[in-house]
Amino acid sequence: MADVESRLEEAEGLLNRFEYEEAHERYSELLEEDLDEKTEAQVRFGRAEAALGINEIESDEILEDYEKAIELDDNPFYRQAAAGFSIDIGKFDKAEEHYRQAAELDPDNKHHYLSDLAVGYRFKAPIMMEEYVEEVGEDIILRKSLSYMLEALDIDREKAKELLE
C-alpha cells in the first residue's frame, strides 16, 4: 500500500503543477491496482480533475469519474466539483442534484452550495440553452436562478419583496 500512496502523491503533485496529461496517466495506472474504496475514490477524483486540462477527453468520461468517486466516498467536496463541472457542460439537473446532496452532507455550508448553483445557472444556462432562451426569453432562467438564491439566503419571495421595497 505504501507504493500506492507514493504513486498517488506523485499523481497529485503532477496535477498541482498543471501537468494534466502526466497526472491523468498516473491516475489511470493506479486504477489498475487493487485499491480500497477511499483510495479509488481519490484516484477517480484526481483523474477527473486532471482530465479537465486535456481537451481530447470527453465530458461524459470526466463526469463518470466524478460520479464513481462519489459512489465510493460521498462527500461534499467531490459533490461540489461534480456539480460545478455539470454546470459547465450544461447538465443543470445533475448539477442541482450534486449541489443539493453537498448541502445535505454539509448543512453548515448549504448557502454556499445553493448560491454557487444560482450563479452558475444564471450565467451558464443562457449560453447552453441559447435557442430556448430566444424562444421563451431569459426571464425563466432568471426566475429559477433567483429561486435558488432565495433558498441560499433562506428567505421566501414575500420577504424578498418586502426587503426590496
pTM: 0.91
Are residue 134 and residue 66 in the same domain, yes or no?
A: no
Q: Does 54 share its domain with 99?
A: no
State whether 16 and 49 are in the same domain: yes
Q: Domain range for residue 39?
A: 1-73
- pLDDT tens for residues 94-126? 999 999 999 999 999 999 999 999 999 999 998
Residue 2: per-residue pLDDT:
63
Instruction: Work out the pLDDT band at 127, boundaries 50, 70, 90.
Output: confident
Contact (CB, 8 A) for 99 and 79: yes
Residues 105 and 137 in one domain: yes
Count other C-beta atoms under 10 Å from residue 98's C-beta: 27
56-83 residue pLDDT tens = 999 999 999 999 999 999 999 999 999 9
Largest CA distance in the chain: 63
Residues 78, 147 within the same domain: yes
Considering the domain architecture, whether residues 64 and 111 belong to the same structural domain is answered as: no
pLDDT given at position 1? 56
The C-alpha cell 498517488 sits at 8
Q: 50 and 79, same structural domain?
A: no
